[in-house]
Structure 1
Amino acid sequence: MIWKHLSLSVTGKSHSDRNEPGQDYCRTGALRFSDRDFFVSLAADGAGSTTHGGVGAEIACETLYLQILSVIREGENISSITDDNIRTWVSASREAIAARAQGNGQRIKDYACTLIGVVATNDQALYFQIGDGCIVTGDGTGYRTIFWPEQGEYANTTYFVSDDTFLEHIKIERQGAAPDEIALFTDGLQNLVLSFSTRTVHEGFFRPLFAALRKKPDSDFADLTTHLIALLSRDDVNARSDDDKTLVLAVNIPVS
C-alpha cells in the first residue's frame, strides 16, 4: 500500500484584508522505511489573538515531524508508541516554541497554536490532537471524525500547545487498521464541513475530493490543488468563515 496526499493552506479574509500572513501551517509526508509505507501529517492553527501564532504553528509541526521521523527510522512499529511517547513529542514542540519566545523576549502565549497529528501504516493508525480543527477518516462506506473539535470554556475559544495545562488536553486514539481515506483540517473549515447539531461529517464535501485524488497520477495534483484553493477562497465561503483554512487529504492505494 502506498499513500497519495495533497495539502494546502488558504489565508483567511480576516488576515488578507489587513495584509497579514496566514497563521496555519501543515507538514505532511509519505515515507518508506524498512519496506513499510508511512503517512505522517501534522496541522496547526495559530491563535487569532496572538502576534506570532503562525510561527508557533510552524515550530510545533516541524519539531514534531522530526520526532516522528526519528522513531520511524529506528524501525519502531506504531503499536510500540505509547501515550507517554506522544506527550513527550508534544512537550518537545512546546519547548521549542518556548525557546523561540524567550529568545525574542516574548511570552509563549504569543505563539499559541492548536495541533493535529496522524501517523499511519497499512495496518495501524495513530491520531492525536490538542484544540479544535478535526481529523476525518473514510472506510469506503462513510466518514467519521476521530475527535470532535474541542472548544474552550468560553465561546470561540479552544486549547493550545502553549497552555500550561496542555497535557490535560491531548486526545489520543489508535486503530488496528489504516483507513482508506484521511483528512485533516483546521478550524477555518470545521463549520463548513461538519454538522455541529448532529456531530456528523458532510460527506458530499469529502467524497468527490477523495475520488479525484485517487484518479490523479502520483504527484500530479496541481489542478486539484488549484481547484481547492479557488473553492476555499470564494466569497460565499469567506462569508461563512473568514479564518485561515488548511486541508490535508490522503488516500491509501493497494500495490498489486
Structure 2
Amino acid sequence: MTINVAAAWLKGLTHSECQDKVNACRGKIYLYNHMDDCKIESDYGLVVVCDGAGSKIHSSAGAYVVAKGVEKYFTVKHQWMSFEEFNIEEIKHELLHYIIQEILSIASKDDHISDYACTLLFVLYLDRSKKYIYGHIGDGGIVALEDDSLRILSGPENGEYKNQTYFITERNAEEHFRLKVGTNISQQLGFLLCTDGIAGSLFKFSKTDPKISPVCQTFCEWLMDSETEEELVVIEKAYKDNLYKHFSSRSKDDLSLVVMTVS
C-alpha cells in the first residue's frame, strides 16, 4: 500500500500574505502493546489545511500553529492504545485543548485567543487498520475519492450570514468541530481538502443535490500515479500551476488544497 501526500497554495489578490496554511506528511506511528511488551507500527498519512480569519491580526500565525499542532498531537502527544478503536469524544476534547495550548504558547500577554482564529480541516489515515479520522470546523471542504466515486466527506458550515463561519479558537468550538472515523474498503482512496477560496469551484455543497467537479478526481489520480519524490514535486507544481491558470481569476481569496491518496 502506497500513501502519497501533496499540497499547493496561492496568495489571494486582496491579501498581503497567504493566510492559508497547509501540512502534508507521512511516516510511521507507533503504539505500545502491553500484552506482548512490544511496539506495533503503522504507516500513516496526514493532510491538514487551515484558513486564517482575514479580520484577525495574528490569524496567519494561528493557522500555521494549528496545522503543525494537529501533526504533533497525533504523532507525539496522543497515547495510542489501539489502531482499531477510537474514542472520538476523547480525541476531540484532547485535540482542541492541545491546539489552544499551542496557540497560547506563542501569544503575548496582550493578545486575545481570537486574534489567532482559523478554520481546520484534516484527514489522518492509518494503514495498519485501514481506518481514517477526519476533522473539520468552519468553511472549506473535504472531498473523498473511493475507487471511481466522488463524494463530499465534509462540507462547509457557515454562520448566520453567508460570509460567516466558525473557528477553532471560539468558546463553543467543540460544538462545531466535526470529528469522524471511516474505514477504507476501496482499492484506491483519495482525499482532497480545500479552503473556501477554491471550494466553490471544486464542489457545490447540498444535502439533496451535491455537485463535485471531475478535476477533484484528476488531482487525486495524478498523485496516485506518482512513485518517486521527484514525481511528487512535479505534482505539487502542477497543482500550483492549475490554481494560478484556472482558479485565481474566480476568487480574490487565498487558494489552497492538500491531497492524500492510498493505492
Q: Give TM-score, length-normalised by structure 2.
A: 0.86
Is 1:121 aligned to residue 126 of structure 2? Answer: yes
Structure 1 residue ranges (4+ consecutive) displaced by more than 3 angstroms after TM superposition? 71-76
Structure 2 letter corresponding to 1:135: I
Structure 2 counterpart of 1:133, from 140, 145, 167: 140
Q: d(CA) in 2 for partners of 1:119 and 1:72? A: 13
Match of 1:249 in 2: 259
- The root-mean-square deviation of aligned C-alpha atoms, in Å, is 2.0
Q: What is the aligned counterpart of 1:111 among 109, 116, 127?
A: 116
Structure 1 residues 7, 178: closer, same or farther in 2, change over 3 A?
Answer: farther
Percent identity between the aligned chains?
A: 23
Q: Is the 8 A contact 1:133 1:149 kept in 2?
A: yes
- SS of equivalent to 1:153: coil
Inter-partner Cα distance in structure 2 for 1:196 and 1:64: 26
The residue number in structure 1 matching 2:235 is 224
Q: Who is 1:195 aligned against?
A: 204
The partner residue of 2:95 within 89, 97, 103 is 89
Q: Deviations over 1:6-60 (max 9, x none)?
A: 1122111111xxxx11111122211124342111122111011111111001111
Moved more, 206-215 or 115-124: 206-215
Q: Conserved in 1, the CA contact under 8 Å of 2:47 and 2:260? A: no
Pick from 48, 51, 68 the counterpart of residue 62 of structure 1.
Answer: 68
Closer, same or farther in 2 for the Cα pair 1:71/1:94, shift >3 Å?
closer
**Alpha-carbon displacement from aligned partner over 1:79-136 (angstroms, at most 9, x marks no partner):** 23432222211221123223433x1522221111001121112311111111111111
33-42 vs 114-123, which moves further:
33-42
SS of residue matched to 1:242: coil
Count matched residues.
246
In 2, distance between residues paired with 1:56 and 1:48? 12
Measure how far apart 1:199 and its partner are: 2.4
Q: 1:162 aligns with which of 150, 166, 169?
A: 169
Distance 2:233 2:69 in 1: 27
Q: Secondary structure at the match of 1:7?
A: strand
The answer on 1:152 being equivalent to 2:159 is yes
- 1:176 equivalent in structure 2: 183
Distance 2:93 2:14 in 1: 33
* Structure with the higher fraction of residues in strand conformation: 2
Unaligned runs of 5+ in 1: none
Partners of 1:56 and 1:112 within 8 A in 2? yes
Distance 1:75 1:88 in 2: 15
Secondary structure of the 2:5 match is: strand
Alignment of 1:35-46 (within 5 A): 35-46=41-52
User: 1:248 deviation in Å?
Assistant: 1.0
One-letter amino acid of the counterpart of residue 17, structure 2: P
Checking the alignment, whether the CA contact within 8 Å between 1:146 and 1:173 is kept in structure 2 is no
1 CA distance for matches of 2:84 and 2:14? 39
Match of 1:237 in 2: 247
The separation in 2 between residues aligned to 1:178 and 1:107, in whole angstroms, is 44
Could you tell which deviates more after superposition, 26-35 or 59-68? Answer: 26-35
